[in-house]
Amino acid sequence: MSARQLYERFRGTVTRKVLRTGIRLGERWLTREGALNILIPDQLAVIGHVNALEYDCVRDGQRVKARHVFAPGSRPVFAVGERRGQLFLLGTSFKFTDRGIVDFNIRGEAIDYDEKTGRIRLLK
């Protein structure tokens, strides 16, 4: 699913253009400057792992409170830069899809983790 489709699904509006983002690593621009500019610092401090993430969003026209509990082994690293607004979730075992955040096992299969039972099941 493209960024535009994800935006439409979670914001409930049709977008003609996806926000252009400029990315800078240290003092070097990796892309052209955009409407939203992200500075990736030269150094990050790793704080720990993220167990769960809660956020508010609009999904299919309805405002919802979303919560995602990461499966063990899929938990991203929580890292910070030295400037204000520099919080990062780093990892390769999760992705944002039309379902929201989805975890992946070591075989690359989409999985769902049940926080209450501690069980993991494959998503279809």
Per-residue pLDDT of the chain (124 residues; tens, 9 = 90+): 677 777 777 776 665 555 677 888 777 888 887 777 778 788 889 999 999 999 998 888 888 899 999 999 999 999 999 888 889 999 999 999 888 899 999 999 999 999 999 999 999 8
Spans of all domains in the chain? 3-122
Tell how far CA 8 is from the center of its chain. Answer: 16
**Backbone dihedral angles phi then psi of residue 36, each to the nearest 5 degrees:** -120, 120
Whole-structure pTM value: 0.73
d(CA 52, CA 70): 6
Cβ burial, residue 26 (10 Å; 0-12/13-18/19+): exposed
- What is the SS3 assignment for 14? coil
d(CA 106, CA 108): 5
Strands annotated E in 1-124: 21-25, 28-29, 36-40, 45-49, 52-59, 62-69, 77-80, 87-90, 94-97, 100-104, 110-113, 120-122
What confidence score (pLDDT) does residue 17 get?
57
